Amino acid sequence: MTYSKRAQNYLTSTMAVTAVIGLLSLSANTTAAECPAAERGPHSMRDAPTTGKDIKVDVLAQLDLGKEAPHLQNRDLRLRTITFQPGGYVPLHSHDDRPAIAIVTQGELIEHTPNCKVPIVHHTGDIIRENKGVSHWVENTGTTPAVLTVSDIPDNRITDSPFK
């Protein structure tokens, strides 16, 4: 397949950004906010939102992985930004079928998860690892917009997820 120079530059920069996010996650133990050990335990998600509010999702790049590797049919490598206005949130969702690595690129975000009794605060520069077993919802309780840059591998066969 032949790509225009602009498309080649776009793909190259997208892969570079994804690689940087991946590399940051490997060395980011000091910048990844986690649930404090003393606060680990069940937390009800009964009142968690089921729809998003005041967020804008921009897909920066997407690559059909099925065309890249035969065992990755129905999967994309996707890079996107999620902008949270003050008071905005993404609904409760699972990453069992959609692993992701995210970095807070602006502002502060609050993560709510069923395995932590207190909210987890993520600051600019923090890495969030979202793998199998992670269910959560995330909100911006601040007074300025917050931005999350996310690289994930969605399963295109799943269409009923509240936030995909």
Question: Looking at residue 11, what is its pLDDT?
Answer: 54
Give the C-alpha separation, 42 to 40, whole Å.
7
Is residue 125 within 8 A of residue 146, CB to CB? The reply is no
Give the C-alpha separation, 56 to 72, whole Å.
28
pLDDT tens-digit profile, the chain (164 residues):
555 555 555 555 555 455 555 544 444 444 678 899 999 999 999 999 999 999 999 999 999 999 998 889 999 999 999 999 999 999 999 998 899 999 999 999 999 999 999 999 999 999 999 988 889 999 999 999 999 999 999 988 887 776 77
**DSSP state, 119?**
P
CATH code 2.60.120.10 for 5-152: yes
Backbone angles phi, psi at 39, to 5 degrees: -105, 5
Its pTM surpasses 0.75: yes
Q: Which two tokens stand for residue 7?
A: 């498309």
Q: Domains of the chain: which residue ranges? A: 5-152
Which residue reads 């207190």 in tokens?
118
What are 102's strand-pairing partners? 128, 150
Of 151, 158, 161, the closest CA to residue 131 belongs to 151
Of 93, 102, 87, 106, the closest CA to residue 146 belongs to 106
Is residue 55 within 8 A of residue 84, CB to CB? The reply is yes
Q: CA geometry: angle at 71 spanning 65 and 73, to 5°?
A: 50
